[in-house]
Structure 1
């Protein structure tokens, strides 16, 4: 055990570096989930796809836009059937699929909560970032706690 009274200091640069690098890695590993939570608004209610319409936004568009029509019961108990206002070029929903609808009572609009489906390669990268960040942050906290208790016990000795 190092004797702190003789001037041996804990490696604060390493501890700080682990913490400072670990936090962004944790954030990067969960960025897609955090972004979805920050940008999605509305009260989640269960719903069911009753129809999927496809159309071109303008005649010159080379792709179709899909707007699903959803049946759901809002939090007030009213049965509703609505279409999503702005569609997408790639919805993977079929008639009868169960979905989570984000109901926005203020403007009487809805959005469909899209489940996270990470591809294998992206999932591996994200989990690697998350794991590395967690290890670095926990290691820095562990060093601070262990070094603190060691220093306290050293100072209490006669």
Structure 2
């Protein structure tokens, strides 16, 4: 006895729980793929003004350190129009600034301090990893939205 013909036009549409998990995982992967940029944006506090590196000093934070810490001195005009020359408080072991370099100074008027806005760079291996996370996250979010659309479209056809 032959089987009843099946309807191949119906596609599997996952339940709401699976769609929600897919969407949530997509957001998590998107967050992981862009966490460094978000963190950089949240921690770079101050009003950006153009400036110039006047001098770069190097020193050891403690006598036992095996590396040097670089603290640049910058000149800039604050938003109030006052010409200033100040040292950056927090040094780094990897500043790539030389005397005369044009930089963006982050002026913090409340505590009279400055920082230098570093150009955002990712290393090649990290870039591949973060782009992979971003693409997986975007794919999961789009897939979950597609499933929601299919459920909505299927409900409209049934009614």
State the TM-score bracket (shorter-chain normalisation). Answer: 0.7 to 0.9
Q: Please give the residue correspondences for 1:20-99 in structure 2 after superposition, counting only pairs within 5 Å.
A: 20-99=24-103
Give the ranges of 4+ consecutive aligned residues of structure 1 lying more than 4 Å apart after TM superposition. Answer: none
Distance, in Å, in 2 between the alignment partners of 1:98 and 1:138 is 42
Cα distance 1:98–1:151, how it changes in 2: closer, same or farther (>3 A)?
A: same
100-109 or 47-56, which deviates more:
47-56
- Alignment-derived partner of residue 109 in structure 1: 113
Alpha-carbon contact 2:61-2:69 (below 8 Å) kept: yes
| Cα distance, 1:10 vs structure 2 | 4.3
| Cα distance, 1:89 vs structure 2 | 1.6
Distance, in Å, in 1 between the alignment partners of 2:62 and 2:124 is 35
Q: Which runs of 5+ in 1 are unaligned?
A: none
Query: TM-score, normalised to structure 2's length?
Result: 0.86
Please report the RMSD computed on the Cα atoms of aligned residues, expressed in angstroms.
1.9
For 1:89-110, what per-residue CA distance to the aligned partner results, in whole angstroms no more than 9, with x for missing partners?
2211111222111110000001
Q: Which runs of 5+ in 2 are unaligned?
A: 1-8
